[in-house]
Every structure is written in C-alpha cells, then in structure tokens.
C-alpha cells in the first residue's frame, strides 16, 4: 500500500489531494513543523536524507519531489487517462508535462523569496525587485493560459492543476491576487472539489 509522509503546512497537502482524486487506498504519516523555526522535524530525515516532504513509499520504492510523485501515481493508477493525456498523443503529453513541472520549476522560487522578504520586514536591494518582477510575470502568464477556461489546460481538470493550485494558493496568501479575478475564481473552484476537502480533513484538521 502507498504510504505518504506529509508535513503539515506545505506542498504535500496537494499530493494528498491527488491520492484522493485517484481514489486509491493509502496510508498517511503526518509530521508537524517546529513552532518557532517552522522547520520540519528531524524524524523526516530518517525517512529521506533531505528531511523534506512529500515522500512516497510504495513497496521498495522511496520517492521524493512532488512532480516525480505525481507522474509515478499517474503512470501506475491513472490507467484511463482521467488526469492526463494519453502518452501516444505526444504533443498534448508534452504540453501537459510542461505545465505539470512549471509551478515548482519556475513559479515557486520568486514566491518563496517574497515570503522570506515579508518575514524579514525589510526590503532588499536585489531580491525585492526580483520578486516583484518575477511574481507579476508568472501570475500574468498563468492568467493568460487560463483565459476563460475552468482549468489550466482547458475544460478538463488534470494533474497539472494540483501544482498550479498550490502556487496560486501561495500567491493568494502573500496578497498577490488582487488584480487577478480569474486566478481567484480558479482557486475557489479547485479548493471546493470534494477530493480536496477530503484531503484537508485527513491531512490538516
């Protein structure tokens, strides 16, 4: 059975969401951050050398990195291509893969810098303009891709929406979505999905 190591207040909630959408049986081991440093507990390093989450166990397989976990779960359990295009349709598969990796490959870094700057409560001569420029660039790009569609790749909800919802939700918490009505609506739709609510019940509440 799948076992997911989940760190509270972090990216792995969205992996729990994927497991719920797939409707498969899984175990969940929950870890809590240090109340002052906000760091992961040392117990996670006993699971994986980086001490980060999510980490997925499936038999002898130990897998980290959210997008790698997403792809593995799709390959093993999404046999009817409910959350991804058929691999034979190489152009659509490549486009899907691009948007699957884009949130953490490109969008997350400037959001993280923005979050750290807010915590420091001091502007930085280099990092502040970088964060402002790059977050605006990426949020505009996401909004343009979304357009009038329900989901990031059109009308159909796909696994690319897991990571995208994560970075859009982070941007929301950082106060960056005031000018993006479509992204607010996108976030509201996805957080209202029954599987996401089930993930919150199991992994947060």
- Of the candidates 127, 121, 131, 124, the one whose C-alpha atom is nearest the C-alpha of residue 170 is 131
Predicted pLDDT at 11: 84
Chain mean pLDDT for the chain: 94
Question: What's the Cα-to-Cα distance from 182 to each of 80, 87, 110, 112, 148, rounded to whole Å?
Answer: 30, 30, 21, 22, 8
Question: Same structural domain for residues 49 and 137?
Answer: no
Question: Same structural domain for residues 187 and 99?
Answer: yes
Question: Same structural domain for residues 100 and 78?
Answer: no
Q: How many domains are contained in the chain?
A: 2
Cα 107 from chain centroid (whole Å): 11
Q: What CATH number is associated with residue 79? A: 3.40.30.10
Predicted pLDDT at 205: 61
Mean pLDDT on 111-127: 92
Full DSSP string of 150-172: SBTTBSS--THHHHHHHHHHHHH
pLDDT digits (tens, 9 = 90+) for 120-161: 888 899 999 999 999 999 999 999 999 999 999 999 999 999
What is the longest distance spanned by two Cα atoms in the chain? 51
Instruction: Provide the residue range defining the domain that includes 34.
Output: 2-83+195-203
pLDDT digits (tens, 9 = 90+) for 6-63: 988 788 999 999 999 999 999 999 988 887 777 788 888 889 998 889 999 999 999 9
Question: Same structural domain for residues 189 and 97?
Answer: yes
- Inter-residue contact 46 to 38 (CB < 8 Å): no
3-state secondary structure of 83: coil
Question: Same structural domain for residues 121 and 148?
Answer: yes
Question: Same structural domain for residues 164 and 154?
Answer: yes
Write down the pTM of the prediction: 0.93
- Those residues with Cβ within 8 angstroms of residue 127's Cβ, 6 or more apart along the chain or in another chain: 113, 117
Question: Residue 86's pLDDT band (boundaries 50, 70, 90)?
Answer: very high
3-state secondary structure of 4: strand
Question: Same structural domain for residues 8 and 59?
Answer: yes
Which of the 8 DSSP states describes residue 44? G
Question: Same structural domain for residues 35 and 95?
Answer: no
Q: Show the tokens assigned to 59.
A: 């038999």
């Amino acid at each position: 059975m799948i076992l997911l190591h989940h760190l509270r207040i972090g990216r792995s909630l969205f992996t729990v969401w994927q497991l719920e959408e797939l409707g498969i049986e899984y175990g969940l081991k929950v870890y809590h951050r240090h109340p002052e440093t906000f760091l992961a507990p040392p117990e996670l390093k006993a699971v994986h050398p980086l001490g980060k989450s999510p980490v997925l166990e499936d038999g002898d397989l130990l897998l980290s990195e959210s997008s790698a976990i997403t792809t593995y779960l799709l390959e093993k359990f999404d046999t009817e291509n409910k959350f991804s295009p058929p691999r034979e349709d190489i152009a659509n598969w490549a486009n899907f893969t691009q948007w699957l990796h884009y949130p953490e490959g490109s969008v997350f870094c400037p959001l993280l810098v923005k979050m750290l700057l807010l915590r420091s409560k001091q502007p930085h001569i280099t990092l502040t303009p970088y964060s402002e420029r790059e977050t605006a660039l990426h949020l505009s790009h996401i909004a343009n891709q979304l357009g009038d569609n329900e989901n990031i790749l059109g009308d159909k909800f796909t696994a690319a929406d897991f990571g995208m919802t994560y970075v859009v939700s982070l941007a929301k918490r950082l106060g960056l979505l005031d000018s993006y009505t479509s992204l607010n609506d996108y976030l509201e739709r996805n957080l209202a999905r029954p599987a996401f609510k089930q993930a919150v019940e199991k992994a947060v509440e």
